[in-house]
Structures are given as C-alpha cells and as structure tokens.
Structure 1
Amino acid sequence: MKHIFYILFLLPILFSCQSEKAVNVYPNQVGDIELDEKLDDSNFKKCFVDPFSFQYYNFDGFQYKGEKLEIEKKLERSNLISDKNSTGYITIRFVVNCEGKTGMFRVQQMDENYKEKVFDKKFINQLLDFTKSLNGWIPQEYLGIKINYYQYLTFKIKDGKVSEILP
C-alpha cells in the first residue's frame, strides 16, 4: 500500500517536469492588426509599437472633426452605388496614429445574417477609398502620451446603397 501511495504522489511531479516552450501565436488583443507589407501603405507609421491597443470606445464620443454627421455628409456627396441586389454589411477597420493619420485598413464583408459574403470588388474599393480619404480623425492621448488607436466604420448596405454608417 505504501508503494501505491508513493507512486501516486510522484506521478504528478514527474509529469510536471516536462517543459515545453510556450509560443504565443495570438495577438496581444483580439483584433490587433498586424502590418502586412503587401496591403499596407509603407508611408503610414504608428507613432510607437505599443503592447496595449486602444480602441475607439476608450474615448468619449466619435473621434472625428464634425463627428459621424460629417462623415455621413461626405458619403452622401460621394454617391456610391453597387449592384441593386447587394445587401449586408461592410466593415472597414483601421489604425489612427498620434498625428490623426490613418493606415492598416482591413475589410470584412457580411450578408444581413452576418455570414461571410463577397460584394462587388469595385464597390468595396470605392468604400475603401472613401474611408482612406477621411482626414478629420482626432489624435488622442493617454496619461499625457500621444497614442495610436483602432477605429472602424461599418457600412450597412441595402439594395446596393449605403443606408447607414455604424457605430
């Protein structure tokens, strides 16, 4: 009986001695955008590489000069139209650096049931160009330090037209 007790006592110790090097394949924060030299403008620079990612919701209100209303006015003047059968959501996520400049744009496309969908490439490029042209993003600070932050715009598409901008 003593031998069984010693074996049961030593067994966990033996297995705990096996060590594997832990490799973190996940980003620091869910949704972090990694630099992709094929997609990203080489002229866009983050002000520093930070281990913590600030998000649009860390601040009071929409961080754009004239707020969301100004973006909606600009979009209305753009008159972007796709195939009349197109309905769903197109989200464009990006980084705003400490100078208020944008880069590292990523696009996600979904149908009205939030399932992956592919919209007309020309329409996607028009929305992406529109988003890249927005130059009123307000730089932010945290504890007196200028920071980078993530922002996104979701375009709700109804019958080939943008019916709403979210958030």
Structure 2
Amino acid sequence: MDRYKSVGDIDFDPQKDDTNFKICDKNVSYSFQYYNDSKGFQYKGEKLAIEEKLKSLKIQGNENSKGYITVRFLVNCEGKAGLFRIQTMNFDYKEAAIDKNLEVQLLDFTKSLNGWIVKEINNKKIDYYQYITYKIEYGKVSEILP
C-alpha cells in the first residue's frame, strides 16, 4: 500500500511544497503521528521554546480575529519539517476564515522552527506528522496547542 493512501496523509504538492524536502520511508503503509511513542511532542526546549520565540516576534493580526489556526506538517527522519498545511476554525470547531495575513505569519513562523527531534520506533528513525494549533484572541496568539 502506498503511504499516501492513508487517511490523514499529506500529498506532495509542487505548488506548496519544497521539492528538496526528503520523505525518508515511502514504503511505510501507515502514518506515524507525534504521539505514537511515549515521548509525545518533541522539540528542543519543548513547547516553551516555541512560545518564547513566538512572543519575541510579536506576530499579530486584525484585533477582531479569533479562533484556531492549525498548521500540520511532516517531520522527517532527519528532524526537518515539510508538507505544511493550514486549517482554520472558529471556537465552535467549524471551518472559518480568520485572518489571511495572520495565517501567513504563523505559517512562516512554523516553517522557521528548526528544533524538531528525530523519532525512532523499534530503533528505526521515522517520518511523523506533527501539528501546532494557535488559539487566536483579539488578533494575537493566546495559547499554543498541543
């Protein structure tokens, strides 16, 4: 089975994705998620490092913006991220437009994160899906999830 036929996988899109991004094991018939081992979310400095970096950039959008902006992506066996996709929702978890400029800023911020830790399962380095959800209130990130 081709790994890109699994529910939740992100297909490579030459219009959006870096052609140099390496997917390490294209023959795996299932998708690993960041929570598929006991270590969970893995970033150097943990989530606190991401929050501090975001805070230092003072990213914000329209003060009426509110909801969730989720950036989902693949971390490969080298700890590099690619195949970024965005989903936006209101506080009722229904798809909704939030603030396109803020979306772009948070996507660029997420792409700039370079501290992803390589995951191993059964002593093999793997590709895995990760996501970051930004809770938006009054045009600013009020919380980062998970």
**TM-score, L = length of structure 1:** 0.81
Task: Look up the match of 1:33.
Answer: 10
The superposition leaves residues 28-56 of structure 1 with CA deviations (integer Å, 9 ceiling, x where unpaired) of 43211111111111111111212121101
Task: Look up the match of 1:47.
Answer: 24
1:117 to 96, 102, 107: 96
More helix by share: 1
Please tell me the residue identity of whatever aligns with 1:40.
D
Consecutive unaligned residues in structure 2, runs of 5 or more: none
Kindly report which structure 2 residues correspond to 1:17-166, keeping only aligned pairs within 5 A, or say none: 28-49=5-26, 50-59=28-37, 60-166=39-145
**TM-score, L = length of structure 2:** 0.92
The whole-number CA distance in structure 2 between the counterparts of 1:145 and 1:61 is: 17
The whole-number CA distance in structure 1 between the counterparts of 2:9 and 2:61 is: 30
The whole-number CA distance in structure 2 between the counterparts of 1:84 and 1:158 is: 8
The whole-number CA distance in structure 2 between the counterparts of 1:68 and 1:61 is: 11
Partner of 1:104: helix, strand, or coil? strand
Partner of 1:153: helix, strand, or coil? strand
Indicate the RMSD between aligned Cα atoms, in angstroms. Answer: 1.4
Consecutive unaligned residues in structure 1, runs of 5 or more: 1-23
Partner of 2:52: helix, strand, or coil? helix
Name the count of aligned residue pairs: 142
Quote the offset at 1:114 in angstroms: 1.0
The whole-number CA distance in structure 2 between the counterparts of 1:62 and 1:120 is: 27
The whole-number CA distance in structure 1 between the counterparts of 2:31 and 2:40 is: 18
